[in-house]
Amino acid sequence: MAGLFDIESHLIFYRKYHFNSTNVAIHLVCIPLILLSTICMTIGVPILADYPYLTLGVAVAWLYGVYYVLLDWQLGVPLMLFLTTFAHYQRTHYSTLSNLTMLLPSQYRSIAIAVHVACWLAQFYGHAVHEKRAPALFDNLLQALVLAPFFVVYEVAFWMGFKLDLQKRMNNAAGREVHRMNAEAKAEQHKKEH
């Protein structure tokens, strides 16, 4: 259970699949859109009939936000505020979308699904063509799906000059892991050839 809140080990796990700058750039764009489109796709799905503002999309925003605060309050609080505000705005305006955008709620959901699928395809492209390594979700689906948006926040924080000591530790440890994984793959390939 301690590992559940160990942000450094989560970041190391995620980084070992994301070293190529083009692949990272694709993820920086696509991961936020995947999470936001998930909220949009599920914003109209009620959890309890007596509470119309408690929808699956709102619950997703709150669950992700609370977990991120528990992992690192300095970066988690702003992200939680963004996610919950986004979900609240989407839920508040979901029923009036046809007036605001000329879209029916079903069209709104269809657009969210299209964005969601396109972003997943772009990420698979980034891994196949640029990273040349399978995505993290093949090793740990839950960790990859839950941690990915927070990883993007860390990438932005690193770019802005924050938490650089953590970035250095993360890159070094992930680099060692990639080296180990590559050595194991070569040894396995050598065994198959002989």
Digit-coded pLDDT (tens) for 30-63: 999 999 999 999 988 888 878 878 899 999 999 9
Average of pLDDT values for 171-192? Answer: 88
- Name the residue range of residue 105's domain: 2-193
Of the chain, the percentage scoring pLDDT greater than 70 comes to 93
Digit-coded pLDDT (tens) for 10-32: 999 889 889 899 999 999 999 99
pLDDT of 148: 92
Average of pLDDT values for 160-173? Answer: 96
Domain count, the chain: 1
Residue 46 — φ and ψ, nearest 5°?
A: -70, 145
pLDDT of 1: 42
pTM of the model: 0.87
Who wins on pLDDT, 193 or 7? 7
Of the chain, the percentage scoring pLDDT greater than 90 comes to 58
pLDDT of 98: 47
pLDDT of 104: 63
How does residue 2 score in pLDDT terms, banded at 50, 70 and 90? Answer: very low
Of the candidates 137, 156, 149, 150, which has an alpha carbon nearest to the alpha carbon of residue 36? 149
- Report the b/e string of 103-142 with b at 16+ CB within 10 A: eeeeebbeebeebbeebbebbeebbeebbebebbbeeeee
Helix (H) or strand (E) holding 173: helix 164-193
